[in-house]
Amino acid sequence: EADIYQTPRYLVIGTGKKITLECSQTMGHDKMYWYQQDPGMELHLIHYSYGVNSTEKGDLSSESTVSRIRTEHFPLTLESARPSHTSQYLCASRQADTQYFGPGTRLTVL
Amino acid sequence: GESVGLHLPTLSVQEGDNSIINCAYSNSASDYFIWYKQESGKGPQFIIDIRSNMDKRQGQRVTVLLNKTVKHLSLQIAATQPGDSAVYFCAEKTRSSASKIIFGSGTRLSIRP
């Protein structure tokens, strides 16, 4: 079973701030993902990575960027947060066909 | 396009009864299906999976059934317990989108005492 860590777990910030959501995994998985999810709703893929120095945009344009400099680390950055970014952000890594999810970051933009 | 959808947004079950959560998918090229459980405030947790060359797979208290003819899969939970209360998601992967797993909207399962 994979260990996926996300920090912070909760974040409240003002509009226009730059923020980075951290995600790390300790199992050496090459594929990693970021999803946005409103409570009880489906997951929307915003970014994914096949491995180091590989990043791809997902189906949802969230005005965010990612980087993959190390296998274990896949941070998500919002350059200028807006109230529409208020949501839960889930990070996942994948082994074979199974994704393992972190606990999520609940973001509120005022 | 590809889509995975659930028939019911909420399901209420008496404790001890069996629960059946249904899911429909539209892409006949999907070759792998997964059920996730998401408790409040947590990330989705893998429950059970099934490949398209199978029609049934059993785990501990859970069974997934796949009907490729009507593009339908279900999750059966035996002897439902209070700890089973959560939102359940089905997800699919197709051979054409090897890196993307598509999630459907969730079904909330609530347990009556």
User: In the beta sheet, which residues pair with residue A21?
Assistant: A76
Which residues in chain B touch residue A45, judged by CB atoms under 8 angstroms apart? 100
CA-nearest of B36, B30, B104, B45 to B75 is: B36
User: In the beta sheet, which residues pair with residue A94?
Assistant: A31, A99
Which residues in chain A touch residue B101, judged by CB atoms under 8 angstroms apart? 94, 97, 99
CB neighbour list of residue B74: distance below 8 Å, 6 or more residues apart = B20, B21, B22, B23, B64, B65
Sign of CA pseudo-dihedral B60, B69, A99, B110: negative
Nearest to A41 among B42, B100, B105 (CB): B105
Residue contact A43–B99, C-beta within 8 A: no
Query: pLDDT tens digits, residue range A57-94?
Result: 987 766 899 999 999 999 999 999 999 999 999 999 98
Instruction: Judge whether residue B73 has pLDDT over 60.
Output: yes
**Three-class secondary structure of residue B79 per DSSP:** coil
Nearest to A98 among B34, B99, B104 (CB): B34
Cβ B33 vs Cβ B50: under 8 Å: yes
End-to-end CA, chain A? 36
Q: Beta strand B19-25 with A19-25: parallel, antiparallel or unpaired?
A: unpaired
User: Which pLDDT band, with edges at 50, 70 and 90, does A104 fall under?
Assistant: very high
The pair of structure tokens assigned to B11 is 């399901």
Which residues in chain B touch residue A90, judged by CB atoms under 8 angstroms apart? 43-44
Q: How far, in Å, CA of A33 to CA of A52, rounded?
A: 13
Residue A104, chain B, CB below 8 Å: the answer is yes
Cβ A81 vs Cβ A89: under 8 Å: no
**Three-class secondary structure of residue A29 per DSSP:** coil
Query: pLDDT tens digits, residue range A40-49?
Result: 788 888 999 9
